[in-house]
């Protein structure tokens, strides 16, 4: 039971509120798709693309394609590798990595007194975020890494860095040199972690590309808006590997929470737990790939029909496509809940029940994480409200373009009465809606789940300040 201004569970409730207040504030300032940093980057991209495309496609076609391409992330388009929504998620993952390096791997093994707050928390937060952006900028600028490559690298690090503390308990340094300065110990673990992360990234990146054909990695679909804004098959091979990595990360968090084999010494205990975590992760990955690994995508069948004039008829089709990203988001929702129970609520209600209580905490995490995924992420209206992505359709002009096409087809329908022509006119509106729903899902995942994990961990360095 915590002592101070507030006790559990109210301490956890206030801490959770603080984490999400910070997370949403950061989202509103930097990544909100309307009027903030992300939208400014999109506008800049659109301006650049318009000037590049107008010479070859003409000004009218360039005006249609440029804003759509500007919204597209680096899954396909590489014209501006540091300006797409997906890319910025790599900064968040790097923030998680550097928090672990600074606040966990460099932490003293024994504390005589608690660090002063909020100074300590602010220093950890500043260093984590500065190093995260510096890593992102260096990799993007000097090594020309794309957003999805940095996201894969960061996910590898998200798996590797915490293992020294959660499973190996700082072995071998803690056993052989317990008096080593925490910063020196953390520096050794950090260098070793980056080396292992780089090797793991190289292996997975090689496997992803060697097992993929060009059309599988960069399939662009068959219509304007969905092609440019909503992914169909592209990124699936990277998505599959990252979802597997996240499943193993969940396995590590489960094992770290349950903490089995307490009687065994390191490194035997850590190795057994790591293998067990990997097995749990792989099993979870296979199970949830079968349950959540596909999602309907909007495609458009275009057929030229000649009556009194030649008309391009558009028929909307919903086709089930592989979507490993669903599994990634779902599993990270469970990781988020485990971290909330463990670090914000200090295992309240579960701690005094031993191993049974820890297993119950894992079960509760799955239940709450499942509710969170389906209520906040998978349900489009909630995701649209949490991300404000619906406004993008108006601000970007995409909805106006879709309505213009609708009016054109309604004019044709007055001359050639046929319900298929009306459906063709409605199709661009369906495409814009699908694109905005996808954007809402990505942004909500970014600030509510992934950024929530980063800010939660950073807030751990504040030790529940100012509520405790």
Cis peptide leading into 81, omega within 30 of 0? no
Cα separation, 130 vs 133, in Å, equals 5
Q: Tell me whether residue 113 is in a domain.
A: yes
pTM score of the predicted model: 0.85
Domain count for the chain: 1
Helix (H, G, I), strand (E, B) or coil at 197: helix
DSSP label at 418?
-
Is residue 223 a contact partner of residue 314, using CB atoms and an 8 Å limit?
yes
List, run by run, the mean pLDDT of 10-residue segments along the chain (468 residues).
Answer: 72 95 86 59 66 73 64 41 59 95 91 87 95 89 81 94 94 89 95 97 84 45 34 54 93 95 90 96 95 79 75 79 84 97 94 92 97 89 82 69 82 82 84 77 85 95 92
Sign of CA dihedral 143, 145, 149, 152: positive
What pLDDT does 40 receive? 60
Q: What Cα–Cα distance (Å) separates residue 92 from each residue in 132, 134, 342, 458?
A: 7, 12, 21, 11
Q: Tell me whether residue 343 is in a domain.
A: yes
Q: Tell me whether residue 397 is in a domain.
A: no
What pLDDT does 269 receive? 94
Q: Tell me whether residue 378 is in a domain.
A: yes
Report DSSP letters for 102-150, one per residue.
IIIITS-SS-SSPPPTTHHHHHHHHHHHHHHHHHHHHHHHTS---HHHH
Cα separation, 82 vs 75, in Å, equals 12
Helix (H, G, I), strand (E, B) or coil at 182: helix
Q: Tell me whether residue 312 is in a domain.
A: no
What pLDDT does 421 receive? 85
What pLDDT does 137 receive? 85
Q: Tell me whether residue 466 is in a domain.
A: no
Here the tokens at position 131 are 């190093």
DSSP label at 212?
-
Q: Tell me whether residue 141 is in a domain.
A: yes
Cis peptide leading into 118, omega within 30 of 0? yes
What pLDDT does 123 receive? 95
What pLDDT does 240 receive? 82
Cα separation, 405 vs 407, in Å, equals 5
From start to end of 173-263, where are the E strands?
Answer: none
Sign of CA dihedral 156, 160, 161, 167: positive
Q: Tell me whether residue 413 is in a domain.
A: no
Which range of residues forms the domain containing residue 243? 10-31+72-300+324-382+434-460
């Amino acid at each position: 039971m915590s002592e101070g201004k507030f006790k559990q569970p109210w301490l956890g409730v206030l801490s959770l509120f603080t984490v999400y207040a910070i997370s949403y504030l950061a989202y509103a300032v930097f990544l909100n798709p309307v009027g903030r940093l992300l939208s400014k980057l999109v506008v800049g991209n659109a301006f650049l693309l318009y000037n590049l495309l107008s010479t070859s496609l003409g000004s009218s076609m360039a005006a249609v394609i440029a804003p759509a391409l500007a919204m597209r992330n680096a899954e396909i388009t590489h014209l501006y590798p540091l300006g797409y929504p997906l890319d910025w998620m790599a900064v968040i993952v790097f923030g998680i990595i550097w928090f672990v390096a600074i606040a966990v791997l460099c932490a003293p093994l024994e504390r005589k007194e608690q660090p002063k707050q909020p100074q300590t928390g602010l220093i950890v937060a500043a260093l984590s975020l500065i190093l995260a952006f510096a890593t992102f900028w260096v990799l993007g600028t000097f090594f020309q890494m794309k957003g999805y490559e940095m996201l894969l690298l960061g996910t590898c690090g998200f798996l590797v860095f915490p293992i020294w503390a959660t499973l190996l308990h700082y072995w071998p340094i803690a056993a052989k040199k317990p008096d080593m300065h925490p910063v020196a110990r953390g520096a050794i673990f950090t260098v070793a972690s980056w080396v292992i992360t780089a090797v793991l990234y190289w292996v997975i990146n090689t496997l992803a590309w060697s097992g993929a054909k060009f059309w599988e990695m960069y399939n662009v679909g068959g219509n304007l808006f969905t092609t440019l804004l909503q992914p169909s098959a592209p990124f699936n091979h990277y998505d599959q590997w990252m979802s597997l990595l996240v499943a193993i990360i969940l396995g590590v968090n489960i094992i770290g929470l349950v903490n089995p084999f307490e009687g065994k010494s390191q490194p035997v205990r850590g190795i057994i737990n790591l293998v067990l975590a990997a097995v749990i992760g792989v099993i979870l990955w296979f199970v949830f790939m079968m349950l959540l690994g596909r999602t309907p995508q909007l495609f458009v069948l275009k057929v030229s029909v000649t009556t009194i004039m030649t008309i391009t008829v558009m028929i909307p089709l919903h086709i089930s496509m592989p979507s490993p990203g669903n599994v990634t988001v779902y599993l990270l929702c469970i990781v988020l809940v485990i971290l909330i129970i463990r670090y914000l609520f200090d295992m309240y209600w579960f701690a005094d029940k031993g191993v049974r209580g820890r297993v119950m905490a894992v079960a509760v995490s799955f239940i709450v994480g499942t509710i969170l995924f389906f209520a906040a992420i998978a349900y489009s209206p909630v995701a649209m409200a949490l991300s404000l992505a619906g406004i993008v359709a108006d601000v970007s002009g995409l909805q106006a373009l879709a309505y213009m096409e609708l009016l054109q087809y309604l004019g044709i329908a007055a001359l050639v009465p046929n319900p298929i022509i009306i459906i063709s006119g409605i199709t661009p509106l369906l495409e814009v809606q699908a694109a905005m729903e996808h954007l809402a899902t990505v942004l909500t995942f970014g600030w509510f789940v992934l950024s929530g994990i980063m800010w939660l961990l950073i807030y751990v360095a504040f030790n529940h300040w100012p509520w405790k």
